[in-house]
Amino acid sequence: MKLPDRSIITYDGLPIKAGGAHRLRLKDPLATWDYIESFLINCTNYSFPETICLQIIKTSESNSLIANAEDIFGKFESIRTIGDYKAYCWPLAKSDIEQSIKFVNLKYEPLPHDIPLINLGIFVRFKFINFQTREILNHQNREEYLNFQPYYNRYLGESSLYTTLSYGRNSLNVFFNFPFEQVNQIMLDYLNQIQKCLPFQFSKQHWKHWKLNKERTSYYGRKIAVIT
């Protein structure tokens, strides 16, 4: 079966070389998550996060934090290395989200290299919707784009975001897939609606237009500038 010449436009905000994520102005983690979730509810088919993970860096100052976390969320599940530190990690249930956000809403000085002592990571996959009908926009399935993976755990046709919440150091990384064949006024009008709901400003950089290659076996992306 011949594949359609389907193309798609993505926004990667932000790539690792540009800082890895948008830094958010709101200091309070709960207010930040409310802003992000409002965007998801108003602009996408969001229902719940895919993963939620609490992380606490092991230091002499964090011993009581770790003990409190174990009292509330149970024994940590894993330990990972971050630079010279060990981080204790708790994968959490969706029902724990509000309590876990309140738990990380604590004022602590960051460790060297701006590493937060405690943070919560939330990962969400979603699809954009039509604002008038609330129906999902067409052509937002990874299968329509050969399951092509331009970045680790990121697929064409599948939008996602990852937010890290910690008092005064909230950030948001997004990989948005807009199913438009080209940048035109219809797309720009749609982006302006999205922008009204976002806790950060779109950059005119970090956009790519992805097209099927001549062999119809893969996709290639070209940088484009989009001014909203």
pLDDT tens digits, one per residue of 64-113: 999 999 999 999 999 999 989 999 999 999 999 999 999 999 888 888 88
**Looking at residues 133-142, what average pLDDT do you find?**
96
Neighbouring C-alpha atoms within 13 Å toward the C-beta of 45: 15
Mean pLDDT score of the chain, rounded to an integer? 92
Is pLDDT at 3 greater than 60 in this prediction?
no
Is pLDDT at 125 greater than 50 in this prediction?
yes
The reported pTM is 0.93
Q: If pLDDT is split at 50, 70 and 90, which confidence band does 218 have?
A: very high
**Looking at residues 2-9, what average pLDDT do you find?**
76
C-alpha distance from residue 176 to each of 11, 181, 190 (Å): 5, 15, 13
Is pLDDT at 168 greater than 60 in this prediction?
yes
Measured CA to CA, the distance from residue 132 to residue 65 in angstroms comes to 46
Instruction: Return the number of other C-beta atoms located less than 10 Å from residue 117's C-beta.
Output: 22
Q: What is the pLDDT of residue 1?
A: 43
Q: What is the pLDDT of residue 121?
A: 97
Helix (H, G, I), strand (E, B) or coil at 211: strand
Strands (E), the chain: 8-13, 22-23, 51-57, 78-82, 85-91, 118-126, 159-165, 171-178, 207-212, 219-224
